Amino acid sequence: MNERGGYKQDAIRVGLLWLGLVVVLEAVWFATEILPRQYAEEAKIIDDAFNLLTILGIPVFSFVVAMLIYSAFRFRSRNDASEDGPPIKTSKPVVVTWLVVTSALALAILINPGLVGLAELRANPEADLVLEVEGQRWQWVVTYPNGAEVRDELVLPVDTRIRFDVTSVDVLHSFWVPGFRTKIDAVPGLVTSVYVTPTELGTFTDDVNLRLQCAELCGIGHARMVMPVRVVEKAEFESWMAEQLTAEAPAAEGRG
């Protein structure tokens, strides 16, 4: 068999191996649910982007793996000789095809979910509720519009557009609720904002993904910088906020 025929057979075998890997990995991805439950509108947007990027990335990843696996068996050294093997010339069509395909993929994901996803997340700059969140080693302090400060639990009303104004008093922290997917850095001396619209009721007791977690390594107590999150009906939220002020009043009188 001539050299060209040998390369053609190699290409066919690699192509079949690549196709098999793509089918298996895509099937596994569609059959496996690795993402936590969605508790906010933003979670769906972010999950859609994640799923699309994974679906597009599997063929590229599979091609590299197929090449490595095939090369490891097909072109392995068959003796103890230490000299280099014969040189392999670059194939211009392969290089051009790879460049065109990967550039097209990069441009496509830049547009969608990149620009399209960001536009969806930022489509509504208005907020029904604004909460101030302050990170400090190693706890979160949340201030509600009525002045109530809480450190033990973040309570939110369902179906409400919420803006979190986030900052830090010491080192860099990161505001992240897995059930909402959104994340923003808490930077000392700077206020950063992130929007969330909870759509599902839930508590940290029922789902550990409903927690305000610091996602930036901030010191020895980083792993303990967690605040439970509870999403409730609007009427229950209003009642809860009133209770917080009632509970703070005796404490303020005692300090006075």
Structure tokens at 117: 């996803």
Q: Is 215 helix (H, G, I), strand (E, B) or coil?
A: coil
pLDDT: is 210 or 72 the higher one? 210
Asked whether residue 92 carries a pLDDT value surpassing 90, the answer given is no
CB of 42 closer than 8 Å to CB of 121: yes
C-alpha 98/C-alpha 105 separation (Å) is: 11
CB of 144 closer than 8 Å to CB of 156: no
Lowest mean pLDDT among 5-19, 83-97, 230-244: 83-97
pLDDT-based confidence at 250, cuts 50/70/90? Answer: low
Q: Is 192 helix (H, G, I), strand (E, B) or coil?
A: strand
pLDDT: is 254 or 180 the higher one? 180
pLDDT (tens digit per residue) in 35-58: 999 999 999 999 999 999 999 999
pLDDT-based confidence at 93, cuts 50/70/90? Answer: confident
Specify the pTM: 0.84
pLDDT-based confidence at 124, cuts 50/70/90? Answer: confident
Q: What pLDDT shows up at residue 125?
A: 87
